[in-house]
Amino acid sequence: VAAWVRLDDRATGRGFYVFNTHWDHRNQPSREKAAELIVRRIEGRKHKDQPVVLLGDFNAVLDNPAVRTLAAAGLADAWHKLHSADRDITTLHFWEGSRRGRRKVDHILVSGGAEVVSAGIRDRDEPMISDHFPVTARVRFR
């Protein structure tokens, strides 16, 4: 369901967690179970005071029930923290390269204690190496 690692910032000595996931693109019950398992793992982490970044191909938009489970656990989408008014956005382009649409299924989610400094969708890379645009975020841990 997810690979994860706990890292330490060498400059500050502060730790943080990074989780990476890739959810099923066809099976909604599978996505919902994945969300539940990830939340359970995040809530069970040893250093509960340290921030979490969860990223990956969720194959689900933000209003999908599985992604809402993550939001209810305190995770927020980095892109929408900075670009909340921009709803006509996609990361899934089916090899067409179009950024228009409402298929943003790739997310970088952050917990409290993580300040999003910048967030983007790289839609100008040539050649395209995936049917998804890469998402990026610069995060500062408090």
Average pLDDT over residues 111-131: 82
Residue with the larger pLDDT of the pair 102 and 115:
115
Q: Are 4 and 18 in contact (CB under 8 A)?
A: yes
Domain ranges of the chain: 2-141
Residue 86: predicted pLDDT: 67
pLDDT more than 90, % of the chain: 65
pLDDT digit string, tens, across residues 33-42: 999 999 999 9
pLDDT digit string, tens, across residues 55-67: 999 999 999 999 9
Task: Decide: residue 71, CB within 10 A, 0-12 exposed, 13-18 middle, 19+ buried.
Answer: middle
Phi-psi region of 44 (alpha: psi -120 to 50; beta: other; left: phi over 0): alpha
CATH number of the structural domain 2-141: 3.60.10.10
